[in-house]
Chain A
């Protein structure tokens, strides 16, 4: 009897242990870091829903861009498994995937992932490295040309423009047309107080805050590139890049005062308060000009392809979601990403203001097509057809593991050009030599 009860007690303990372990083992907790932008917030909200659906808890921390980059480096250097998922700016992919710090998700892909529905360039540029897939895109926002429809349709301006330039005022399709338009509107006094209050265009121009990003669109549209991808030699001194840089530098004269301090925020702010006639800006940011609470140009902005010289090839901005190679739950992490970027959630993220969609089907989804700016009849996502078109010709920052360093070097010399401290040729010559030195130190060009 005594023996029997001892046996019974042991079995009970075993059952409890197994049960507890199985419950504990089933309760997966994933930790992720996302950018503290609207798509990070959207992911955070959807993660709560994911837990209710699957029981998998996903903790999402929202931090700034620089902080993510530093955290990634430190986590990876120590091979830490504290975070499973990272939201990354795509230009970091070569660096982290190349060094083996990211988990290839190829093995988890099933037909259910519906890879073929993703925008090809979004998937190719932002998630693939060395032929492997490391994550799924979360948002894309290529450069678009923003223009004030009301100004372009104003009969007085139309007549004046035609008289001055000999052709109709219209949204510019070529770089020369854009220069004419920028010159035409620049420095106008629209409220009659004797001070200029309208400028030709604006874009990010501050050193380290995006002057490189703006300049890249010019380089690509002029048919240039920043590397010879066969030899990996920098090509900043080619005629195309010099011509593009000269054009960009010349165009800066039609920008508002203080343009050299312009970051992301100033461009959107200027557009919202009606200080500029055109802008070269990320597509996603257009929600700021349609914010009924802060914008004085509600519904007045329209969007077009970046003007072409040789071609219209806007520079791409995009963020993707990747899985850490040191994650203890890579499959679960992938399942969350897959769920977050499924057809329905891609649309939902867009409707939540998260960013521009990454799936082809989202661009024709009735929920997006029918969405209006709150309290108005203005189509909320009228930019998206242009985004879809831009995603066919868009080009990325140079996809090399040293991209951040490359950007810092180039940014400094572009700043010198902007401020008239160096000529275009001189600055590009020095920048080219500096980039070459950087690449050489990184082990390129070894015989």
Chain B
């Protein structure tokens, strides 16, 4: 038997780390460095145009947002948007997944059709709906006026309708995402618990509530987390459909950060806002994770 020298043994032990080194360096460059840089930015009064005039303000940018009415408005709008869009998408996605998991005729075609909105770029979706919903030339208002004989609202410029309209478009585009994840989850569930319950005389909704949904918890958690994070940073739809208007009714946090960063060039403050947004998202996700995974453990 040939003995390996201790030095070679150590080298062998280190080998996996050498292989890991390139991705670690890569990640450090594209993730860690920008994060540290943006944290540095957040501590400065840093205008992109007048770089020479940057000034260290410490937590000044973070304190500034306490009295910034536009920031609080954008937080409120973002929470409303994310909560409503995600929950509606979840319920619709679940419903569609339950239907699509049945072996019905034409279900394959329906599944394919349902995925189409998700494949379109959000900016294109925004522009498309902007034209469809146009108060004068939009085909939707045309049908409402001529067939339902009612005067439709100005979807994108009415203070009460603009945000629900954006949520509707988000639901249109992203319900398929919820659907595809939940469908995959449902199809991977073991059949025997529901079959056993069926034999015991359980009704469909009882099987759904007591068996399918509890078993689906991990999948639901992933789907909700992904959609929540995504809808929380909505930007494209706001940009292409309302630009934060009417007034500030659709001014989401991402849109506000974009304005501060790329219109006011106030990069220090924009970086501080981004960090706050990141913090909110992390707290929100960890809470959601706790609530859902607690249920899984109780099972």
Contact = CB atoms under 8 A, between A and B. Distances in A.
Interface of A: 66, 69-70, 73-74, 76-77, 95-96, 99, 101, 206-209, 256-258, 260-261, 266, 269-270, 275, 401-402, 404-405, 408, 411-412, 415-416, 418-419, 421
A76 B135 contact: no
Interface in B176-203: none
A372 B234 CA distance: 48
Determine which residue in A76, A258, A415, A419 has the highest number of CB atoms from chain B within 10 A of its CB, and name it: A258
Contact of B136 (A95, A96, A258, A404): A258
A411 to B, nearest CB: 8
A398 to B, nearest CB: 15
B264 interface: yes
B13 interface: no
A260 B157 contact: yes
A266 B244 contact: no
Majority secondary structure, B binding face? loop
Interface residues of B, number: 25
Please give me the 3 A-B residue pairs with the lowest Cβ-Cβ distance, nearest first: A258-B135, A207-B245, A208-B243
Given A73-B265, A206-B157, A421-B159, A415 B246 contact: yes
Contacts, number: 83
A257 B135 contact: yes
Interface of B: 48-51, 134-137, 154, 156-159, 242-248, 259, 262-265
Contacts of A74: 48
Contact of A73 (B157, B243, B248, B262): B262
Contact of A261 (B134, B247, B262, B263): B134
Given A77-B49, A96-B49, A269-B137, A412 B248 contact: yes
Nearest to A209: B243
A18 to B, nearest CB: 40
B51 A207 contact: no
B134 A408 contact: no
Contacts of A96: 49
Contact of B156 (A101, A261, A402, A405): A261
B154 A408 contact: no
B137 A206 contact: no
A261 B244 contact: no
Contact of B244 (A208, A256, A404): A208
A415 B247 CA distance: 5
Contacts of A412: 244-245, 247-248
B136 A266 contact: yes
21 contacts: A69-B262, A73-B262, A74-B48, A95-B49, A96-B49, A101-B49, A208-B244, A209-B243, A256-B136, A260-B157, A260-B246, A401-B49, A402-B264, A408-B259, A408-B263, A408-B264, A412-B247, A415-B247, A418-B246, A419-B158, A419-B247
B144 to A, nearest CB: 13
Given A405-B263, A408-B259, A77 B51 contact: yes
A95 B265 CA distance: 10
A408 B243 CA distance: 10
B246 A419 contact: yes
Contacts of A260: 154, 157-158, 246
A277 B25 CA distance: 65
B247 A73 contact: no
A207 B249 CA distance: 11
Nearest to B265: A73
Determine which residue in A99, A275, A418 has the highest number of CB atoms from chain B within 10 A of its CB, and name it: A99
A421 B135 CA distance: 20
A73 B267 CA distance: 11
A189 B154 CA distance: 21
Contacts of A266: 134, 136-137
Contacts of B50: 99
A273 to B, nearest CB: 9
Nearest to B251: A412
B245 A206 contact: yes
B73 to A, nearest CB: 10
A259 to B, nearest CB: 8
A408 B247 CA distance: 10
A401 B47 CA distance: 12
A257 B247 CA distance: 18
Given A77-B51, A258-B157, A260-B157, A405 B264 contact: yes
Contacts of A270: 136
Contacts of A275: 136
Contacts of B246: 207, 260, 415, 418-419
Contacts of B262: 66, 69-70, 73
A77 B136 CA distance: 42
B244 A207 contact: yes
Contacts of B244: 207-208, 412
